[in-house]
Amino acid sequence: MNRISIVLLGLTLLCVACSKQTEKVTPNGLKFSVIKAGTGILPKKEDILVFDYLLKDSKDSTWNSTHEDGMPSAVMIADSTALATENGMVQMFRMLSKGDSVVMTMPVSKFFKDVIGQPVPPKIDTTVSISYFIQVKDIMRMEAFREYQSKLMEEKKKTQPAKDAALIAKYLEKNNIKAEQDSSGLRYVLHSSGGGAKPSVANCVEVKYKGKLLKDGRVFDQAEKIAFPLGGVIEGWKLGIPKLGIGDSATFYIPSGLAYGPQGYPGAIPPDAILIFDVQLLQVSAEFDQATRSCK
């Protein structure tokens, strides 16, 4: 979903929120408001509750949205014996039915403490409050959910390459970058081309690199010097690094399908993330020495 659609969704939810709401409280004290009631049929043990959400702050900045990501979230309802140890969010899911729309608003410090379960990151504005809008799409058993999820993934595979290509093109145009493109969808800029030996996928390479997310520019990894067998890395590197000779450098704009795809890399790279890598090729050799973690 594009930015305009996300804004319209937020306005719709806010308008609904202007009408009469029903406030509810979870057993451990988390307050939330039902802004639209659904079927009233609550999930049972091992049911999967499938929902869309919109997370935004009091400055009207959208933090995250399943509509933007293209995939709903889901949570499994545990046995009731787990109720006492569950956080407020999980307890709230037990109280929702198909078709329910709810919202909770809280200070950002409480959001990170009670929902995320970690301290507020250093760069987050601690003066804002967070509103978490949730719409329950469905409640189903695991077998039906797996089938549903599989269909969504197949649909996404068809549409994600075009979405990535459009986002990369927009980024390049905005930053006045002229990049080449190969048939895989990889975009790249060669900063130097000295004619040195170029590797094949069968080689060991040593590189200097910095990796960041196209979406927000966050650097997720970098190294002054690292060696590895080229055949063991993401497809974008297998395609990009052989374009370099020893000593050459380039920037690669790698679509998610040539990177970490819909699964991402937990803790570092979100699902369907487009990656930007600044890379310099330092060395090429025939083999990788596992003991010394170097090319030989």
**CATH code for 3-149?**
3.10.50.40
| 207 close to 233: Cβ distance less than 8 angstroms | no
What was the pLDDT predicted at 195? 75
Q: Where are the domains of the chain?
A: 3-149, 179-295
Residue type, 124: I
Would you say residue 68 has pLDDT above 80? no
Q: Is 120 exposed, middle or buried (0-12, 13-18, 19+ CB in 10 A)?
A: middle
Would you say residue 4 has pLDDT above 50? no
- Number of neighbouring beta carbons within 10 Å of residue 168: 22
Same topology between domain 3-149 and domain 179-295? yes
pLDDT band at 20 (very low <50, low <70, confident <90, very high): low
pLDDT band at 7 (very low <50, low <70, confident <90, very high): very low
pLDDT digits (tens, 9 = 90+) for 71-129: 899 999 999 898 888 888 899 999 999 999 999 999 999 888 877 778 888 878 889 99
Least trusted range by pLDDT, from 34-48, 184-198, 271-285 = 184-198
What was the pLDDT predicted at 62? 86
Would you say residue 11 has pLDDT above 50? no
Query: Higher confidence at residue 15 or residue 224?
Result: 224
Global pTM? 0.69
Would you say residue 211 has pLDDT above 80? yes
- Spell out a b/e string for 76-103, using b for 16 or more CB atoms within 10 Å of the CB, else e: ebeeeeeeeebebbbbbbbbbbbbbbbb
Provide, rounded to the nearest whole percent, the portion of the chain with pLDDT above 70.
93
30 phi, psi to nearest 5 deg = -75, 125
Architecture of domain 179-295: Roll (3.10)
Would you say residue 70 has pLDDT above 80? no
What was the pLDDT predicted at 16? 46
What was the pLDDT predicted at 14? 47
Provide, rounded to the nearest whole percent, the portion of the chain with pLDDT above 90.
67
What was the pLDDT predicted at 166? 96
Would you say residue 132 has pLDDT above 80? yes
Secondary structure letter of residue 285 according to DSSP? E
Least trusted range by pLDDT, from 2-6, 98-102, 155-159, 180-184 = 2-6
pLDDT average, residue stretch 202-208: 96
pLDDT digits (tens, 9 = 90+) for 135-163: 999 999 999 999 999 998 888 888 899 99
CA-nearest of 99, 108, 113 to 52 is 99
